[in-house]
Amino acid sequence: CAGAKRVLELGCGYGRVLASLADDPTLELTGLDRDSELLARARTRLPDRVALHESDMVDFCLDGEGFDRILIPHSGFYCLEDEASRIRCLRTVRDHLAPEGALVLDAYCADAFHLESDPDDHTDDQLDPVVTVEHAGQCFDVFERSAWDRPAKRLRVTYEYLPQGGGEAKLGSVMHHYLLLDEIEPLLQQAGFTGVELHGDWRGGPARPEAEMWVATARIG
């Protein structure tokens, strides 16, 4: 976001990225998410000058001048249901960019496991440890299990939060429709973006199937 004035984050959640950007008082920041509870949490940690909107990132309408940067971080783009939703989202983004603005999005790189792994390698009920988190004074050990539909390039990931010391587990799930590297630039071009750069990390390294992530920057001029 260096050099930007107005920044919009789509799928801002509880404000982790916006909180970091808010350290720069010159940035005019806006966050958008469809989850009202997450937005309420974001409001408690962000300065009042950060505008928050409850809406779906596929279809939204924000007044004012165009944004210099629009961000879709942390694989949020994979949460869109299908190609039609992706195109609608990208075209809405295009309509909200300033003439010299840029869309920046990142996600995990799925090429290696898509091409080399077998869905039977991991059963749907296999729990893998992820992290330990604390909420409201209670520590939870977090595990995940995945159901993979390779032809559809779709992952349903279920997270199980087990309270340390015993108690009822809490469950949450997310559906990811992932992209392969050779699908990203054509999709952005189909939505009307002309200047597309694809990298394999935030330092500008090459996009590679074996990389952990990809970063795309797209412009309209």
Q: What is the pLDDT of residues 128-159, one digit of tens each?
A: 999 999 988 999 999 999 899 999 999 999 99
Statement: residue 196 has pLDDT above 70: yes
**pLDDT at position 221 over 80:** no
Residue 173 has pLDDT above 90, yes or no: yes
The conformation of residue 56, written as its DSSP 8-state character, comes to -
Calpha distance 195→39 (Å, rounded): 32
Q: What is the pLDDT of residue 33?
A: 98
What does the pLDDT read at residue 122? 66
Q: Reply yes or no on whether the pLDDT at 64 is more than 90.
A: no
Q: What would the mean pLDDT of 165-176 be, rounded to a whole number?
A: 93
Q: Choose the most confident range, by mean pLDDT, from 26-30, 115-119, 191-195.
A: 26-30
Tokens of 207: 């996009």
- Exposed, middle or buried, 144 (CB in 10 Å: 0-12/13-18/19+)? middle
Q: How big is the CA angle at 96 (ends 35 and 38), to the nearest 5 degrees?
A: 15
Residue 189 token pair: 């071009």
